[in-house]
Structure 1
Amino acid sequence: MTLDRRGLLATGLALALGGCAGRGGVSLVAGPGGEAAGLETLRSVTAGPTGLTIRVASSGCVRKEDFAFYVDRTGVPPTIAFARKRLETCHATTPGEAALTFTYQELGVAERGRLAVLNPLAANP
């Protein structure tokens, strides 16, 4: 799946029809069920009062700066996608997860309304 304008619009429309409720004034819409090449599989995504918190697999040294996000504000609802910029090079004895919070201001989206997250969600986080 490429992230061209037509693909994002079609995916955003499909996702808008099957949304799930979030917290903090923002309603999240589930990510795609099919291929999402280049996008990070999220263990969870939560809409809080000040921003989105994503939980991702981690070897112990992932940082927020290791992620890039793309927001398409042209559709309704706006869509967002997260991708890793670099792989982790550390190795913990037990792989785990990390919680990364991105504020709505940082993402450039309103603190109210709907927001479609395009990343796939892990089946068993």
Structure 2
Amino acid sequence: MRRIFTKTAEVFSPRITDRRSIRRRRAGVPCWIGSSALGKRRAELRDISAQGCLCMASLTAQPGTSVLVTIPTFGPMLTTVRWARVDRVGLEFANPLHASVVEHIVKAHPPVPIDH
């Protein structure tokens, strides 16, 4: 299991999660996120796995909404919103990425600290 922290009324409280089957890799990737209905906005991809990613973006999308994520040097990738918070969104790739693609993205864009 992995311990993560949830911000509640300016207090950080630990929450345990073990739902992911594939480990995510930290990254700091500038990207674009959006759809025809939601518009297009700048975002930052903060972690990634073959199955999905976390983007820092203010996106008012409900779980199940399809959005495109565009990373520099890669074409747009179709994703589905799995959850959304005020400033971040969890996305699942429609077509899982090959491990070498994830590795390339992580090496090209080193991680940055996650703001909580």
With structure 2 as the length reference, what TM-score do the two structures score? 0.34
Q: Give the helix-richer structure, 1 or 2.
A: 1
With structure 1 as the length reference, what TM-score do the two structures score? 0.33
Q: Give the strand-richer structure, 1 or 2.
A: 2
